[in-house]
Chains A and B, each alone.
Chain A
Amino acid sequence: EVQLVESGGGLVQPGGSLRLSCAASGFSISDHYMDWVRQAPGKGLEWIARTRNKPNSYATEYAASVKGRFTISRDESKNSVYLQMNSLKTEDTAVYYCTRRIGGSWAFDYWGQGTLVTVSS
């Protein structure tokens, strides 16, 4: 069974840092692009980061709202994906979801349960 389990969320002050983890099971992340999507309280979905797979040189992409502050990475030996978040702002408060991309249609076929990040003083 495919599962994505996020962890690492919590309360952090503005300007602080946090590292989110996404542990995958039931499949190998080496075969997939992996993404992070967030959802601010009561708001819609926002894609924020992508890590491609090895055939695509593990290249990354970011939304403008997080570029230069957030870094996505992967550790295939642990079958895990990470999101290092620095210089956090109050507007980064959201539930953060880890997702897996389908190879053919490029949609996100599996999502984790999400982890809440609250940026507040």
Chain B
Amino acid sequence: DIHLTQSPSFLSASVGARVTITCRASQGISSYLAWYQQKSGKAPKLLISAASTFQTGVPSRFSGSGSGTEFTLTISSLQPEDFATYYCQQLNNYPLTFGGGTKVEIK
């Protein structure tokens, strides 16, 4: 199985801060990586697919990069509505796997 390690697992940041979340895969997955945002009690929402393609309607402050085994999700200027848990997911091999999540909280 491909293991995805997200770091940090928790971060506390202020509104306006630049935030970077890292996702490392235990083996190469090309660009078959997605990022999701999940707010409390809600279903996850797709933010980024194919490592760097943001979905229609997703604010441009979100960006993704990377390929192979190392990927990042960056929020250029954190907004109040961005406080949530973020997950990466690899789609290259079965079983499809998710990272453990990064909870972003208000500082």
Contacts and interface: CB of A to CB of B under 8 A. Distances in A.
Interface in B48-107: 49-50, 53, 55, 87, 89, 91, 94-101
A78 B38 CA distance: 29
B102 to A, nearest CB: 10
B25 interface: no
Nearest to A101: B91
Contacts of B98: 44-47
Nearest to B32: A106
Given A111-B43, A111-B44, A112-B43, A105 B94 contact: no
Contacts, number: 60
B46 interface: yes
Interface string A54-76: 00000001111000000000000
A107 B91 contact: yes
Contacts of A35: 96
Interface residues of A, number: 22
Contacts of A112: 43
Contact of A107 (B38, B89, B99, B101): B89
A108 B89 CA distance: 10
A113 interface: yes
B18 interface: no
Please provide the 8 A-B residue pairs with the shortest distance between their CB atoms, ordered closest to farther. Answer: A107-B34, A105-B49, A107-B49, A105-B50, A111-B43, A106-B91, A47-B96, A45-B98
Interface of B: 32, 34, 36, 38, 43-46, 49-50, 53, 55, 87, 89, 91, 94-101
Given A45-B89, A45-B101, 9 more contacts: A44-B101, A45-B87, A47-B89, A47-B95, A64-B95, A105-B50, A108-B46, A108-B89, A111-B43
